[in-house]
């Protein structure tokens, strides 16, 4: 791909007289490629941000559950949860971890 500014590419694409030189056609192809690369990069960033935000929300739910239902045992230094609370917290942690795993799978 030749070195091309967005401005030059736009001028080549918007050339009004309808005639296109070989260079104009190359510039248009380069512009399309450049636009595609920016679009893919932007979509990748949005996806990563969205996945990370989802993982944080799951962790927030975990923390809220612990705060609402947990009790600290000073003798053991452990937060105790009623019933299957430990399993619930573990599942939430797994979900957040699995979500973040999606980021490394796509790299």
What pLDDT, in 10s, does the model give residues 78-98?
999 999 999 999 999 999 999
Q: Is the Cβ–Cβ distance between 4 and 30 less than 8 Å?
A: yes
Decide if 95 contacts 87 (C-beta within 8 A).
no
HSE of 52 in the Cβ direction (CA atoms, 13 Å)?
8
| pLDDT < 50 regions, the chain | 1-2
What DSSP character marks residue 75? T
Question: Six-digit token pair at 94?
Answer: 């797994």
The pTM assigned to this predicted structure is 0.63
Give 77: exposed, middle or buried? Use CB within 10 Å, 0-12, 13-18, 19+: exposed
């Amino acid at each position: 791909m030749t070195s091309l500014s967005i401005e030059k590419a736009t001028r080549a694409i918007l050339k009004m007289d309808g005639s296109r030189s070989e260079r104009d056609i190359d510039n248009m192809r380069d512009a399309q490629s450049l636009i595609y690369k920016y679009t893919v990069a932007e979509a990748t960033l949005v996806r990563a941000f969205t996945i990370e935000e989802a993982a944080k929300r799951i962790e927030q739910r975990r923390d809220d559950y612990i705060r609402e239902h947990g009790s600290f045992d000073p003798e053991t230094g452990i937060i105790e949860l009623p019933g299957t609370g430990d399993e619930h917290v573990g599942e939430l942690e797994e979900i957040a971890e699995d979500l973040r795993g999606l980021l490394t799978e796509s790299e």
